Amino acid sequence: MSTKQLARELGLLRQRSKSSNGSKSLLSNQIFPFLIVIDFESTCWREKKNSTQEIIEFPAVLLNTSTGEIQSEFHTYVQPQEHPVLSEFCTELTGITQSQVEAGIPLHICLSRFSRWLQKLQLEMGVVFPNGPQRSSAPSPSQKPCAFVTWSDWDLGVCLQYECKRKQLHKPDVLNSWIDLRSTYRLFYDRKPKGLNGALQDLGIQFSGREHSGLDDSRNTAQLAARIMRDGCVMKITRSLEKTAKKQIRTRKSRRASQSRSAPPLHPSKDLHPLHLVCPA
């Protein structure tokens, strides 16, 4: 097999005219001038597969899609409260120690500080979110649409979503929609990635830092997103909890209406006749 054929199979020739200008602006067709990449780390155990997980590291990095550079970062360790003592397996996997989470903050305070960081970005850079309070059908020139990016739907669709429900915490509405970069990668290159590191390696990018460090994973995911955009991919929202909830409501209403139409009518001589009433003795 020739080098060109191999490259074509790997998806490396896709949008070659765009990717060959890697140093130029990535923004030409992008919907979002900014992306915020999130990659949580949570409590985990070698054996307890069904135990509830809690966030212990909350990182976020702001990627400028015009330059491919990270412009701002948010990072904190979070105190687990349901299972306050980390397992040895968790520390080995993530590198996060018991002393780091004990010096961290509860999730509700973390979310409050994260919201303040987002507000700072809104004031200083004009970022707006698809489902945020500033959303509009046509953003003004001073507004810079921004979307969240994760590697899979787990971070925002499972981990944070269910922890906030269990603990009855308010979750910022802006975190209800995001771009699943794993799904985007698979659709764009027409191949299934072997994890984040595998996806980077497929594109000739060296993973920087420590795997399963939330902050390092976020930075590397941002670099992967930048590369995918250079290859010509336009980033689009892949998941919205609000749309999912509305669809579920419509489905339930449709099911109830269908059941109502199919229910047998009351028989006047049996269901309503007074002689069929049982009177107490």
Calculate the alpha carbon distances from 177 to 5, 30, 241, 242, 270 in Å: 37, 17, 6, 8, 53
CA dihedral of 235, 236, 241, 243, whole degrees rounded to 10: 180
Cβ atoms within 10 Å of 201's Cβ, excluding its own: 14
Question: Which entry of 9, 41, 73, 108 is annotated as an active-site residue?
Answer: 41
Helix (H) or strand (E) holding 270: none
Relative orientation angle of helices 195-202 and 214-230, to the nearest 10 degrees: 30
Residue 41 a catalytic site member? yes
Residue 273 a catalytic site member? no
Question: Which entry of 73, 83, 108, 212 is annotated as an active-site residue?
Answer: 212
Under DSSP, is residue 99 helix (H, G, I), strand (E, B) or coil?
helix
- Cross-strand partners of 70: 63
Catalytic residues: 41, 212
